[in-house]
Structure 1
């Protein structure tokens, strides 16, 4: 066999091995993906969802088909015609959310995002399988869900319904932006739930002065996982959203807005949130808890 044939044979062999590995990888990816979403998914849809980091499930597709759609920058808004009166305020609030997150988080890739209007809490709960929520974000689906109840007051800019509508949208959009920042920084380390929720609440309270009512401050390590967080929401006298907001507000007040991204970058460097946090602030989380309690005079 001459040299040229040997090279062709070698290249062909490498190509076959590569295709075999690729095929096996796609098989397991497809199998894992179907198991994760608990529905039948085509191979092409699996690949597309993997490449775009965005999955459209059957329930989501049905909701979109029932609604009209309008694009605003990277956001597709899905709405019933009688909810179209909310579009101007929604656009205004999205611009506000984008501006605030660009200021707080800096640059992040703005992947396509779906915003779906829901008639009431029952419809949203049916879609999310979650109870007692007014808004929702799934990074897996790149979907924000928001309830349109009380739209008459929102459109007339009555203070309370307008505040709740805009606060919910600011909060949920920040979940989206925060996760895109994690993806950009290639952070695989678990970020505590209190930290992400606190950032979302901080953005959602922009231009608002919060007068905290008394509540029980719990150790932050008890608000780390999603399960911890949901459990805390069910306990009287514990207000995880408010506690997380006050903690982030204190952090930013002490160290400036840049501290949020600095902690994330240090978390990546140390592969550990607590170590990254202490590296940036110079104090452990326990000390932060003491300072926050003292600053807002919360009973521990």
Structure 2
């Protein structure tokens, strides 16, 4: 009887999810029901064993949920959050105070399952749930993904390499921007649906200092077809559309024409007027005329368009994170090699030599550490010592 009851309950849940998906896909229900449906579905995917790996770290009004392996990268996240607070204040004159949860998944299947209920963009790399003030992200390799902020590389079956050009920093900044803008709108009693999705997403990529690739086959999408969430998802799932790129470029164009203050002024004007009327009044031109300007420029761009300077390097924070990472993952030779380069460029010869010698004591059979010590000596014209290290590297390589 108990087994039959479990089957019935499971069936009811699945039927409820299917019905919920139907209604979400038809755009009938708001995000609260979508969240409930997603939460029920996640009880099937997210096991207790998976959840038990999470620990919680508090920083200001942020709650970061992560596994133990992510701990060395927390200083990097703190630095990013501090920077985002500054950028939020510069753009909106506002720093959000609502508690924000940032959950870092470590299993790609679980992360993808979070975004699988209802209408969703294919290949999403992060998302923000405004109902529960939570950002969901993925960090499979703390060293590569977070500390070095390197995009993930996929090797395709035909031998080609596919690089995901969106790194951890850009994803976090993008999703934080949604949190900041939504908090600003809540503070000013402006409903979220009053702001078209292209404007919201464009601001997010603008604040993320994102670098995007403009391609020859990219369609231009009329802005009035990027107003709703459903419009956005349908556009994202068309391979010739790039709504993120177009929306980001729209915000850059607007800022170049009128200055950064125009973003805040348009949003605040929506307290009294529609978005279109607010845009017309604040920008001094109609949305239709702005779209014509945007389209003329957009069609002619068929190259990598560098919209901003390179983001801040966070060198000191990266050094601190790498030092912590090596304590936790002492056998990951990649981190030793990278930290030695940071030391050489930022701490000088003595500290770098000491670090590499200590690293070799821990891993005397690792040829790459001997090579980096040889390069250090070579760069400082200590050629005899460099040759000794190169010979040791060669000897170890022959053993393998």
> So what's the TM-score if we normalise by structure 1?
0.74
**For residues 201-240 of structure 1, what are the alpha-carbon distances to aligned partners after superposition, in whole Å with 9 as ceiling and x for unaligned?**
101126x5x5533311110010100000000001121100
Aligned length: 250
Q: For residues 158 and 176 of structure 1, do their structure 2 counterparts lie closer, same or farther at Cα, with a shift above 3 Å needed?
A: closer
Among 185, 200, 203, the alignment partner of 1:199 is: 203
Q: How far apart in 1 are the matches of 2:184 and 2:252? A: 20
Q: Does the alignment pair 1:142 with 2:145?
A: no
**For residues 97-154 of structure 1, what are the alpha-carbon distances to aligned partners after superposition, in whole Å with 9 as ceiling and x for unaligned?**
1111111111254101100011143211222334521111001010001100243223
Q: Which residue of 2 aligns with 1:67?
A: 54
Q: For residues 38 and 170 of structure 1, do their structure 2 counterparts lie closer, same or farther at Cα, with a shift above 3 Å needed?
A: closer
Q: For residues 171 and 34 of structure 1, do their structure 2 counterparts lie closer, same or farther at Cα, with a shift above 3 Å needed?
A: closer
Q: How far apart in 2 are the matches of 1:64 and 1:113? A: 19
Q: How far apart in 2 are the matches of 1:203 and 1:109? A: 15
Kept in 1, the 8 Å contact 2:88–2:95? The answer is: no
TM-fit CA distance, 1:83: 1.7
Q: Unpaired runs of 5+ in structure 2?
A: 1-29, 153-164, 302-400
Q: Does the alignment pair 1:93 with 2:80?
A: yes
Among 279, 285, 288, the alignment partner of 1:286 is: 288
TM-fit CA distance, 1:89: 1.5
Secondary structure, aligned partner of 1:68 = strand
Q: Which residue of 1 aligns with 2:228?
A: 225
Kept in 1, the 8 Å contact 2:139–2:146? The answer is: no
Q: Which residue of 2 aligns with 1:151?
A: 142
Q: Does the alignment pair 1:261 with 2:264?
A: yes
Kept in 1, the 8 Å contact 2:115–2:124? The answer is: no
Kept in 1, the 8 Å contact 2:32–2:131? The answer is: no
**For residues 7-58 of structure 1, what are the alpha-carbon distances to aligned partners after superposition, in whole Å with 9 as ceiling and x for unaligned?**
xxxxxxxxxxxxxxxxxxxxxxxxx99967548xxxxxxxxxxxxxxx9x99
Secondary structure, aligned partner of 1:107 = coil
Q: Which has the larger radius of gyration?
A: 2
Q: Unpaired runs of 5+ in structure 1?
A: 1-31, 40-54
Among 97, 116, 124, the alignment partner of 1:133 is: 124
Q: How far apart in 2 are the matches of 1:107 and 1:219? A: 31
**For residues 182-215 of structure 1, what are the alpha-carbon distances to aligned partners after superposition, in whole Å with 9 as ceiling and x for unaligned?**
1011112521000000000101126x5x553331
> So what's the TM-score if we normalise by structure 2?
0.57
Q: How far apart in 1 are the matches of 2:245 and 2:280? A: 23
Q: Which residue of 1 aligns with 2:93?
A: 106
TM-fit CA distance, 1:156: 5.4
**For residues 166-192 of structure 1, what are the alpha-carbon distances to aligned partners after superposition, in whole Å with 9 as ceiling and x for unaligned?**
000000000000100110111125210
Kept in 2, the 8 Å contact 1:194–1:220? The answer is: yes
Cα RMSD, aligned residues only: 3.0
Q: How far apart in 2 are the matches of 1:185 and 1:108? A: 13
Q: How far apart in 2 are the matches of 1:78 and 1:278? A: 43
Kept in 2, the 8 Å contact 1:97–1:170? The answer is: yes
Q: For residues 80 and 246 of structure 1, do their structure 2 counterparts lie closer, same or farther at Cα, with a shift above 3 Å needed?
A: same
Secondary structure, aligned partner of 1:77 = strand
